[in-house]
Chain A
Amino acid sequence: MNLLNILDEIEKVDAEVYERLNPRRRAMKQFFNFGSKVALAAVPMALGSMFKTAYGQSTATVEQVLQYALTLEYLEAEFYTKAVAAPGLIPAGAPLGAITTIRDHENQHVTFLRNTITSLSKTPVAKPTFDFSAGNGSGTGPFASVFTNYDTFLAVAQVFEDTGVRAYKGQAPNLLRQGAVLTAALNIHSVEARHASHIRQMRKARGANVKPWITGKDNGIGLAAVQPSYDGEDLETQAGVKITGINGQAISVNAATESFDEPLTMAQVLSIVDPFIV
Chain B
Amino acid sequence: MGVQKPKLMNMRNSTKSEDQALIKEQDFFSSKLERRSFLRFAGAGAAGMALVAAGCKKDKMEAGFYLGSGDIGILNYAYALEQLEAAFYTQVAASFYTGATQAEKDLLIDIRDHEIAHREFFKNALGSNAIGGLEVNFSSINFADRTSVLGTAKAFEDLGVSAYNGAGFLIKDAGYLTVAGKIVSVEARHAALIRDLISNGSFANSEVVDANGLDKSRMPSEVLGIASAFVKTKLNANDLPTT
Contacts and interface: CB of A to CB of B under 8 A. Distances in A.
Interface of A: 1-6, 9-10, 12-14, 28-29, 32-33, 35-36, 39-45, 47-48, 55, 94, 97-98, 101-102, 104-109, 111-112, 165, 168-169, 172-173, 176-180, 182-184, 186-198, 201, 211-213, 238-239, 241, 243, 246-247, 249-252, 255-256, 258-263
Contact of A184 (B26, B58, B214): B214
Contact of B213 (A13, A14, A104): A104
B72 A198 contact: no
Nearest to A195: B204
Given A2-B55, A36-B15, A261-B181, 16 more contacts: A10-B172, A13-B176, A28-B21, A40-B45, A48-B243, A108-B213, A172-B174, A173-B174, A178-B169, A190-B164, A191-B214, A195-B203, A195-B204, A259-B117, A260-B183, A261-B182
Contacts of A255: 110, 113-114, 117
Given A41-B45, A169-B182, A241-B124, A194 B217 contact: no
A50 B224 CA distance: 30
B196 interface: yes
Contacts of A40: 1, 3, 5, 8, 41, 44-45, 48
B211 to A, nearest CB: 7
Give the dominant DSSP class at B's interface: helix
Interface string B124-136: 1100000000000
B200 interface: yes
Q: Which residue among A4, A29, A41, A168 has the maximum number of chain B CB atoms within 10 Å of its CB?
A: A41
A259 B213 contact: no
B114 A259 contact: yes
A183 B169 CA distance: 6
Contacts of A36: 9, 12-13, 15
Interface in B75-117: 107, 110, 113-114, 116-117
Contact of A39 (B44, B107, B187): B44
B173 interface: yes
A252 B47 CA distance: 48
A187 B211 CA distance: 12
6 contacts: A47-B51, A98-B201, A172-B177, A178-B169, A189-B185, A258-B114
A194 B215 contact: yes
Interface residue range, chain B: 35 or more
Given A32-B25, A105-B204, A239-B175, A252 B185 contact: no
3 nearest CB pairs, A to B: A108-B213, A41-B45, A193-B188
B69 interface: yes
Given A4-B22, A173-B174, A41 B215 contact: no
B113 A251 contact: yes
A107 to B, nearest CB: 8
B140 interface: no
Interface of B: 1-3, 5, 8-9, 12-13, 15, 17-18, 21-22, 25-26, 28-30, 41, 44-45, 47-48, 50-52, 54-58, 69-72, 107, 110, 113-114, 116-118, 120-121, 123-125, 161, 164-166, 168-169, 171-179, 181-193, 196, 200-201, 203-205, 208-209, 211-217, 243
Contact of B185 (A55, A94, A169, A187): A169
A1 B214 CA distance: 38
B205 to A, nearest CB: 7
A259 B113 contact: yes
Contacts of A246: 117, 120-121, 124
B69 A9 contact: yes
Nearest to B117: A259
Contacts of B209: 105, 191, 194
B192 A197 contact: yes
Contact of A193 (B29, B169, B185): B185
A190 B193 CA distance: 13
B203 A197 contact: yes
Contacts of B191: 194, 197
Contacts of B166: 183
A94 B164 CA distance: 30
Given A32-B12, A108-B213, A239-B179, A9 B117 contact: no
A12 B214 CA distance: 34
Given A13-B71, A35-B8, A260-B183, A1 B175 contact: no
A45 B51 CA distance: 10
A94 B161 CA distance: 25
A247 to B, nearest CB: 5
Given A172-B181, A173-B177, A256-B117, A261 B186 contact: yes
